[in-house]
Amino acid sequence: MANQKVIVGLDIGSNKIRTVVGVVEDKSHAINIIGVGISPSNGIRKGMVSDLDEAATNITASLEEAERMSGEPVHRAWVSFSGPSIETYDSKGVIAIGGNAEITEDDVDRVLDAARAVSLPANREILRIIPKSFSVDSQHHVKYPVGMNGIRLEVEAHIIAGQVSAVKNLEKCLYRTGVSIEEIIPSYLACAEAVLDRKQKELGVAVIEIGASSTNLAVFEEGTIIYSTVLPVGGEHVTNDLAIGARAAIDTADKLKIEYGTCLKDDVSEREEIDLSQISRTDAHTVSKKQIANVIEARYHEIFLMVRDELEKIGRAGMLPAGVVLCGSAVKTPGVVDLAREILGLPAQIGFPRDIEGIVDRVDDPGFSTVIGLLHFANRYGTTRSFDFDFGKISDSLVSFFKKLLP
Ligand SMILES: Nc1ncnc2c1ncn2[C@@H]1O[C@H](COP(=O)(O)OP(=O)(O)OP(=O)(O)O)[C@@H](O)[C@H]1O
Ligand SMILES: [Mg+2]
């Protein structure tokens, strides 16, 4: 394809594996979606590979579907995953600039290198380092120091680290499918890239991504990420609660949740009953819809209380002017947005993937935000030489620096 570049996102979830193929035009930089693949995920548990063969088979199925639809063979992909194997740390780096000279991109690389020299727990490796702000001599909150004069350059950085074994196993899986990895991006970063705009990030906003096994939180302010964390509770816990509450098989409980589930328990009448034989071959008893709503609401309530505790830790509970944006498939239960608004005391909305063209109806879903975000990463950080990052202009050398950090 002349003047077009094919980019591929692959989101390896605990419940679903999603592939999206896009083409980017040289001039407009618009992302045109041309292929989508989705497969069940049976070899991933809590974001980590639990069965190499099964995971590779599922990934292949997802890739092949996207290849068939797009007519493009996939050789390389931007990959995301989530789960408790991802941890974040704050770090600082300081360097001297010789002779009060002009700060160069090499100096920025050096100071980020200094910030990278943080002592991580054993078996952790850095996936990404994100500069939050720079200081030049006594001037703080500098967004981009290149071109300024000074004798001392300091950076405050956000470090995202992954468990070495988890990353290696993911790489092994991908190797078996014959696809090589462009970059591994934690799912919440990809998700934020797809659903947030620059203004929201400037004002103060949080992305809450609720997947199957975990809830991922990322908080942005003044254009950059200031906090992120992974909470080990997600949609599969809602399903497990329902299986116990309704005394039904896990598969039945998941269908029950998706077809009849709601957090709006006050809207459900005491008398409504659901006949499980309608949705299951194994379960034939009836359950009260009110009881189902109570169980679902209780678990989402708990998730948002955990999020509120995290926001309290950083002094942002009820304090984010652009509110919270919810993504991940588990936010599709009716009433989740209202519950988030009520418990967090903030504006809340569902985050649909933005700034895409092509077969958008297939991906216009909060469950696709993460994989679409990977295409945004590929488009912005993989194909351009100089571009706007969270805090302003960022250099080609910084891109290569980020790439050096990858496993
Ligand atoms: N329509 C729906 N309503 C409510 N919940 C849903 C709906 N569709 C899917 N879910 C739930 O969303 C969860 C899966 O979300 P998602 O696809 O974002 O997870 P994943 O990316 O595969 O997993 P993870 O990111 O945790 O590794 C499951 O618990 C599933 O039951
Ligand atoms: Mg996910």
One pLDDT digit (tens) per residue for the chain, 407 residues: 457 899 999 999 999 999 999 999 888 889 999 999 999 999 999 999 999 999 999 999 999 999 999 999 999 999 999 998 998 889 999 999 988 889 999 999 999 999 998 888 889 999 889 999 999 999 999 988 999 999 999 999 999 999 999 999 999 999 999 999 998 999 999 999 999 999 999 999 999 999 999 999 999 999 999 999 999 999 999 999 999 999 999 999 999 999 999 999 999 998 999 999 999 999 999 999 999 999 999 999 999 999 999 999 999 999 999 999 999 999 999 999 999 999 999 999 999 999 999 989 999 999 999 999 999 999 987 743 323 333 333 334 444 444 433 33
In a domain, 247, yes or no: yes
- What is the number of the ligand closest to the CA of 44? 1
Task: Tell which one of 10, 46, 213, 329 to mutate to probe ligand 1, the residue whose CB is within 8 A of the most ligand atoms.
Answer: 329
- What is the number of the ligand closest to the CA of 191? 2
279 and 210 assigned to the same domain: yes
3-state secondary structure of 208: strand
> How far does the centroid of ligand 2 lie from the alpha carbon of residue 365, in Å?
13
- What is the number of the ligand closest to the CA of 234? 1
In a domain, 357, yes or no: no
Longest CA pairwise span in the chain (Å): 80
Task: Tell which one of 10, 12, 14, 15 to mutate to probe ligand 1, the residue whose CB is within 8 A of the most ligand atoms.
Answer: 15
In a domain, 275, yes or no: yes
Residue range(s) defining the domain that contains residue 346 = 198-352
Domain count, the chain: 2
> How far does the centroid of ligand 1 lie from the alpha carbon of residue 289, in Å?
21
Residue whose Cα lies nearest atom 8 of ligand 1: it is 329
| Contacts of residue 360, Cβ cutoff 8 Å, sequence gap at least 6 | 33
> How far does the centroid of ligand 1 lie from the alpha carbon of residue 312, in Å?
26
- Distance, in Å, from the CA atom of 170 to the CA atom of 83, rounded to the nearest integer, reads 13
126 and 235 assigned to the same domain: no
- 287, HSE (Cβ side, Cα atoms, 13 Å): 27
Is 235's C-beta closer than 6 angstroms to any atom of ligand 1?
Answer: yes
In a domain, 189, yes or no: no
- Distance, in Å, from the CA atom of 160 to the CA atom of 174, rounded to the nearest integer, reads 21
Asked whether the beta carbons of 211 and 15 are under 8 A apart, the reply is yes
> How far does the centroid of ligand 1 lie from the alpha carbon of residue 196, in Å?
20
In a domain, 69, yes or no: no
341 and 397 assigned to the same domain: no
339 and 227 assigned to the same domain: yes
Q: In terms of Cα–Cα distance, which of 89, 233, 242 is closest to 160?
A: 89
pTM of the model: 0.91
Fill in the amino acid letter for 267.
D
Looking at residue 149, what DSSP letter applies? B
> How far does the centroid of ligand 1 lie from the alpha carbon of residue 330, in Å?
4
- Distance, in Å, from the CA atom of 52 to the CA atom of 393, rounded to the nearest integer, reads 40
Is 212's C-beta closer than 6 angstroms to any atom of ligand 1?
Answer: yes
In a domain, 234, yes or no: yes
